[in-house]
A and B are shown apart, each in its own frame.
Chain A
Amino acid sequence: MRPEELRGRQAAGAVPPEELDRLVQREFAVIGARLRRVDGVAKVTGRAVYTDDLTFPGMLHGKILRSPHPHARIVSIDASEALALPGVHAVVTGRDMPVPYGIIPWTRDEYPLCVDRVRYIGDGVAAVAAVDEETANRALGLIRVEYEPLHAFLEPEEALDPPAGAEPIHAPTKPGRNGNVTKHVHLEFGDVDAELAASDVVVEGEYFFEGTTHTAIEPHCAIGYYDPTGKLTVWSATQVPHYLQRELARVLDLDVARVRVVQPAVGGAFGGKSEPFDLEFCVAKLAMATGRPVKILYTREEVFYAHRGRHPMKMRHRLGASADGRLRAVDAQTLIDGGAYASFGLVTTYYSGQLLTAPYRFGSYRFDSTRVYTNKPACGPKRGHGSVQPRFALEVQLDKLAERLGVDPIELRRRNFLGADTRTINELRVQSNGFLMCLEAVERASGWKERFRRLPYGRGLGVAGSCYISGTNYPIYPNAMPQSAAQIQLERSGRVTVFTGASEIGQGSDSVPAYIVAEELGVPLDYVRVVSADTDLVPVDLGAYSSRETLMMGNAVLDAARKLRKRVVASMARVWEIPPERVALVGGWALDRTDPERRVPISEAFNIAEAEHGALGATGSYDTPKDVHGAYRGGTIGASPAYSFTAHVAEVEVEPETGVVRVERIWVAHDCGRALNPVLVEGQIEGSTYMGFAEALMEAQVFKGPEQGRAGLHNAPSLLDYRIPTSVDTPELHALIVESVDPEGPYGAKEAGEGPLHSSIPAIANAIFDAVGVRLDALPFSPPAVWRALQDPAARARWEATHGARRAEVAAD
């Protein structure tokens, strides 16, 4: 068929001429429109293929034997009986993979399977591959492991100060150090002690953030296959295919060029799949041992053991302010309960302090954070990594300060606004900053001025603010290459294929490239096919963590798309004999802006360009600014190309007799720079706010203590007992988008996936104070905890006083 024969059908599928005129006038044709996800239909109709949906001929099923002891030496392992069981193909133990791994290259302290020591109940000891799961499970029961129990550290304070003779959880990195300490960070900016001494008001508080886990609906799953030519392929429910590929090669001593990692559709991750896990090494090793594909699917219980969720943090905060409410000093001391392994803990320790310095200007700032190991599942990055806990403490401190000074808490936050195009006290560069707009949006939407401190007893409003990073300026392993790259290929039909390493975990990173390409190249959205997260096919992107995908992958795709756009535009300009600025690619057409009647279907424009330039393909990449951070040690950690800002107002109803807190509604305004697709941004804002609400009211990753027997055993490793709210429990959520247009983001976009979690929690705590006059400084705000706080006989009087004062003030007006 000749190209002109295709023309009629293509024109029929493109935007009709009358709409085209309007589109050409607009700044964007696609960006900012309310659009579908590219994977939406497949997911809601059950056609999306997740890792556990994959099955291969001859595939074996693996299971991992897990430690029943919180801390013990492995004396011996005898797998002979298991190997003799019919249907069992292989058993591997720690000695088969004695290379330590870890997501942070400086803290590799974990083995695919424990070599000589187990460090928590659930630590992997041996793995079996068998013809089916039942046989594999039976085989696990036949493996004899002899343990020598060691002193188990369950509380971070004890780990910090171990009893004499108790062996630390890890060998000390240097002689004389406590092997139970992962990381200690002490940083001071300005003279905190002097500023505190000079402050008119000092607010002190102790806060506790309970550990919580991700509860992604899809459990971790991986399949390994080692083909006869010596190539390893691992399909995995991961959010970091690139790092996984590198670690598999390193630990298994393979050429990284012979390792392929494929990420099928992922059913939620939230940071819980952002580093390698034991099952990925085990399926690879078992596949190498058997020559067959091997699959391991975690049980829900194993997901709770794998964990890497929110660190429990004990925080002591002091805040000094002048009489007009300006923050002169913030002094934070934090003890972080890390669990058995480092995971991202080095970063967590820095983040617990570094990310607190916006959106408010601090006169001086000091933080002292220590992460210790304990004999429990390892904590790691959960949505809002490292900064959700200290944000809770700081925002409650601010509420207490406002109360002490008699200043409206929103006004107090305004007075301390950091500003745009500035540096924080720890020298993070902030460009766009829409925080004031966020405050104003929630203030207006919630009816704050008329209702704060004026609602009847039992009802209250609370406010909080926060900021978050849009990716990190420095990658996890030091290198000078771009953080994200993309490749685009144009077909003669008008279709476009985008290849990206970005990791779709539900946040929309398969959709964002399609929106960008449709915007730049003028093709209908459904002409764009996105191929992602398969290390054999796509250029490198570092993965879905620290809210980096939209900004970094978006910029890489934009870079490639603009190169192609330039070629197509140049060809059309030449054919029509007009300047290139007059050529528009929009809505399935190439057209002349000044004479829209002059137009061709986009495929024809592509054909003309291909005839002129040869095959139409381009690569693009993005790397972060590297010169914008403090020169001090650790100054690079927390540095991000752009920062998002959020404000929450929560409305609660507290039932004093039972301690039940009902969060009626939450207004949340989030500065995402630019909403590439408002539907996805609202989804992220609502999802984050929901997750914060869940942690505020009910979530708790907790373990049995010695008094309950089986010390260190997870207390609720199932979704029956680990509580997350259902839709019926969830408040009304009002997501308000604020766009500050950041110079660093694609079209000005910043992150939206993690920031809007943070202030959800302190806003609820502050609303409870407004409702009933008690402070909840420890999470979660469960009915028994609220009830206990309300047994304080002074609580009611405190409520009367705050509300009386406000009434007097109103009367004076």
Chain B
Amino acid sequence: MIPPRFDYVAPASLDEAIAILHAEGEEAKVLSGGQSLLPLLKLRLAAPRVLVDINRIPGLDRLDEADGALRIGALVRESDVEASTTIHAHYPLLADTAAVVADPLVRNRATICGNIAHADPANDHPATLLALRAVVVARGPAGERTIPIDDFFTGLFATALRPDEIVTEIRVPAPPPRSGGAYLKLERKVGDFATAAVAAQLTLADDGTIARAGIGLTNVGPTPIRARQAEARLTGQRPDDAVLADAARLAAADAQPVADRRGSADYKRDLVRVLAFRALRRAVERAGG
């Protein structure tokens, strides 16, 4: 349980950090909360030559709404999200998610940006941010660019980020009135990765039909999955139980689970159906439907 030897740098500015990443290439890893990186080092599944600790870089911890979006900086911790009244009021899906990531000690350090940059399909925020149609802001030597969340996850533990880019911010479009979301996760024990989890985000139109739906699935495929068939089934419909059940079935069809210690593929697929229905119901309630 001792990590392999590594160098450690703690740059004071983003430019400095990016310069180091640029020079080291694949040999460097960014350390923010260390939620995934430290276990990987201790289990010797990863052996980067240098860790670039970004915790001393000022300005990366903003968590506020501006220009119609919620800004989540690279050093915003899960516990910050859990404690934020703005998030509880307007982004209940994010609050749900932060509350079920690992355990409270880890949540005091773990960051939301790190959670997606690691691109583990078992991580919780990827599905949530897919449902919320978030935008990822990345900075590299050539400057800043934005990546729609749909284009961000490119494979198992793989993202659209270049080795010398850092996720500096996640932007979540502010939900219109009559929106609501929920995240439901089944875990083998408290603090575990999900056996499966479903994130749902709905906006209701004035006539009570569903104007917009977002559904993300956790740990039922090589990447986090957006359940597009299910979203399409909901759009324009009244959110009654029959429609939600239908959408839940389609979400299960969108899942690509494989059998492992957490259960058979059949079990996980049915679990997606059950959790999707419950998450949608809760989202409708929270949207005031």
Contact = CB atoms under 8 A, between A and B. Distances in A.
Nearest to B43: A718
Contacts of A732: none
B191 interface: yes
B267 A787 contact: yes
B1 A784 contact: no
Contact of B188 (A715, A728, A782): A782
Contacts of B1: 299-300
Contact of A726 (B5, B190, B274): B190
Contacts of B192: 723
A783 B195 contact: yes
Nearest to A659: B267
Interface string A318-333: 0000000000000000
A660 B191 contact: no
Contacts of A258: none
A227 to B, nearest CB: 30
Nearest to A219: B1
A27 interface: no
A48 to B, nearest CB: 21
A784 B264 contact: yes
A157 interface: no
* Size range of the chain A interface in the assembly: 20 to 34
Given A718-B43, A726-B191, A783-B195, A658 B186 contact: yes
B186 A657 contact: no
Nearest to B263: A784
Contact of A729 (B190, B262, B274): B190
Nearest to A727: B190
Nearest to A726: B190
A721 B39 CA distance: 12
Contacts of A133: 2
A716 B262 CA distance: 12
Main secondary structure of the interface of B (DSSP, over half): loop
Contacts of B267: 659, 783-784, 787-788
A529 to B, nearest CB: 36
Given A134-B2, A658-B274, A721 B261 contact: yes
Interface string B82-108: 000000000000000000000100000
Contacts of B5: 134
A728 B190 contact: yes
A725 B189 contact: yes
B190 A723 contact: no
Contacts of A44: none
A720 interface: yes
B250 to A, nearest CB: 18
27 contacts: A133-B2, A134-B2, A134-B5, A657-B274, A658-B274, A659-B267, A660-B186, A698-B189, A700-B261, A702-B261, A715-B261, A716-B261, A723-B189, A724-B189, A726-B191, A729-B189, A729-B190, A783-B186, A783-B188, A783-B195, A783-B263, A783-B267, A784-B263, A784-B267, A787-B267, A788-B264, A788-B267
Q: Give the residue among A700, A715, A787 with the most B Cβ atoms within 10 A.
A: A787
Nearest to A300: B1
Contacts of B195: 783
Q: Can you list the 9 inter-chain pairs with the closest CB atoms, starting with the nearest?
A: A784-B263, A784-B267, A728-B190, A657-B274, A726-B190, A729-B189, A723-B189, A723-B188, A729-B190
Given A698-B188, A783-B267, 9 more contacts: A134-B2, A698-B189, A700-B261, A723-B189, A724-B189, A725-B189, A726-B103, A783-B195, A787-B270
A783 B275 CA distance: 14
Nearest to A656: B274
Contacts of A723: 188-189, 192
B280 interface: no
Contacts of A657: 274
A698 B192 CA distance: 12
A720 B186 CA distance: 16
B255 to A, nearest CB: 15
Q: Give the residue among A660, A702, A784 with the most B Cβ atoms within 10 A.
A: A784
A700 B188 CA distance: 12
Interface string B1-41: 11001000000000000000000000000000000000100
A442 B270 CA distance: 38
Contacts of B39: 720
Contacts of A300: 1
